[in-house]
Amino acid sequence: MQAPERHPVQTPTTSPRAWAWRVVRWVVPLLFGLLVAFVVASAGTVLARTGWTTRDGRMAFPLQLRQRVNVLVMGVDVTLNNRRQPVNLARSDALLLASFDPATRTASFLSIPRDTRAAIPGHRGWWKINAAYALGGPELTVRTVEQLLGVRVHRYVKLGPQSFARVIDAVGGVWVDVERDLQYEDWWAGLRIHLKKGRQLLSGEQAMGYARFRHDPLGDIGRVQRQQKVVHALFQRLKEPQTWLRAPQILRAVAENTQTNLTPHEVATLGWFLSRLAPDRIRTETLPGHFAPLFWDPDPERVRALVLEMFYGLRPEQVAQTTVEVRNASGVPGTGLQAAERLRQMGFPVVRVEADPEGQPYTSVVSTRGDATLATAVRDMLGVGAVSARPRPDAHADLVIRVGLDYARRLRLLSGAPAPSP
């Protein structure tokens, strides 16, 4: 993409109608990006003034989205000490995995309950998934979600405790139909919730109290449903033309409370993509499972089917009919077996696992039937690999995977252990 020519700055003489069109064309897509909690800035100036925090800008993509992108949005709660001061023991209060697929022009949003039972890389036993943030911040949370779902997370957004509250205040509040009287106080979490039943305009603090209300027969699932309800109310508010005039306040409110490794350019790309989707092209789900004494226990079969559909665009029966052969060319014993187990968990029949004496640094996934669709999905499931399609009627499997040293390193990263040397 060529850089635009630079011209001397001139004083604009924009008519009111042209200015309004500019708002509709550029600001509205950015505000839609806020719907999924992405920090947005107009030409980067707001970000520079308010301290936008970004990390790792290597994956910048043009305003036209060309490949599927998965972004983990994490809202972080706050704990107070006996002096009512915030302490650095925060856990993630909300987890949302968003996926944007330009091939099918769809967006998917999977809510992960904070009490979901999960293994946290580098830590023994079972944990509630929200503990990953307290143990290792956004990076460990990303690795935990990748391990739980078998989905590569390309980017993350961390929202501070006041992010949504301040955005909601910036848009003038949100209309929510409160389903029943809610009375609850949590001194340690700084929550004081006193809401009456009925449709009402909630301030940012009230909306966050409503979303975080804990005394619910459905437990964490009820919280997820209320969080989705507040996001929908914010979405409706952002669509109102009068809200567009509040863009600077909204952008500032988000930028002051957010950390992300998305660049402003990437955020604008995702916001623009989302803004042009029809409502029926956007799917929202909650991680399937059931209540256990201490956890929300994921249902493996239902989770697998949902993940295949939402993040890979595949049906379970497609996967079940595609055979796989795995060859370990990494030089690290056991790496091929781990790759095979990952693919079995996703539903692929693995017909052969063997060592490959000709080692290679990079993983390759070859479709022997000439269709690269499923090979691309396998590459994404493993998190590494080059895809090719080479028709071979005599092949023993539909997909042949030569696991390289890059996959052994990725396994080490996910487990929290040092990466193997070449």
Output the pTM of the full model: 0.75
Distance CA 222, CA 323 (A): 40
> What is the CATH classification number for the domain harbouring 92?
3.40.630.190
Distance CA 370, CA 386 (A): 15
In terms of domains, do 59 and 202 share one?
yes
In terms of domains, do 184 and 296 share one?
yes
Strands (E), 160-224: 174-178, 182-186, 191-195, 198-202
Residue 91 lies inside a defined structural domain of this protein: yes
**What is the predicted pLDDT for the residue at 189?**
57
**What is the predicted pLDDT for the residue at 44?**
32
Measured CA to CA in angstroms, residue 229 lies from 93, 177, 234 at distances of: 16, 9, 9
Residue 5 lies inside a defined structural domain of this protein: no
**What is the predicted pLDDT for the residue at 12?**
44
In terms of domains, do 339 and 193 share one?
no
Helical segments of 239-263, H only: 241-244, 247-255
Total number of domains constituting the chain: 2
In terms of domains, do 140 and 236 share one?
yes
- What is the total residue count of the chain? 422
In terms of domains, do 290 and 332 share one?
no
In terms of domains, do 332 and 407 share one?
yes
Residue 12 lies inside a defined structural domain of this protein: no
**What is the predicted pLDDT for the residue at 235?**
77
Is the CB of residue 182 less than 8 Å from the CB of residue 143?
A: no
Is the CB of residue 366 less than 8 Å from the CB of residue 374?
A: no
**What is the predicted pLDDT for the residue at 418?**
55
Residue 6 lies inside a defined structural domain of this protein: no
Query: Which of 270, 303, 336 is the endpoint of a domain?
Result: 303
> What is the CATH classification number for the domain harbouring 350?
3.30.70.2390
**Owning domain of residue 324:** 314-415
Nearest CA to 309 out of 300, 299, 319, 322 is that of: 319
Query: pLDDT per residue over 369-417, tens digit each?
Result: 988 899 999 999 999 999 999 999 889 999 999 999 999 999 988 776 5
**What is the predicted pLDDT for the residue at 228?**
79
Produce one character per residue of 31-53: b if its CB has 16 or more CB atoms within 10 Å, e if not. bbbbbbbbbbbeeeebbeebebe
**What is the predicted pLDDT for the residue at 225?**
81
Name the helix (H) or strand (E) containing 106. Answer: strand 106-112
Residue 13 lies inside a defined structural domain of this protein: no
End-to-end CA gap in the chain: 36
In terms of domains, do 135 and 267 share one?
yes
Residue 378 lies inside a defined structural domain of this protein: yes
In terms of domains, do 320 and 343 share one?
yes
Q: Is 226 helix (H, G, I), strand (E, B) or coil?
A: helix
Residue 208 lies inside a defined structural domain of this protein: yes
| Mean pLDDT, the chain cut into blocks of 10 residues (422 residues total) | 40 43 42 44 32 45 78 76 54 84 93 93 93 92 94 89 82 92 70 86 89 71 80 80 78 77 83 81 91 92 96 95 97 96 96 94 94 92 93 92 96 70 54
Q: What are phi and psi of 381, to 5 degrees?
A: -65, -40
Residue 405 lies inside a defined structural domain of this protein: yes
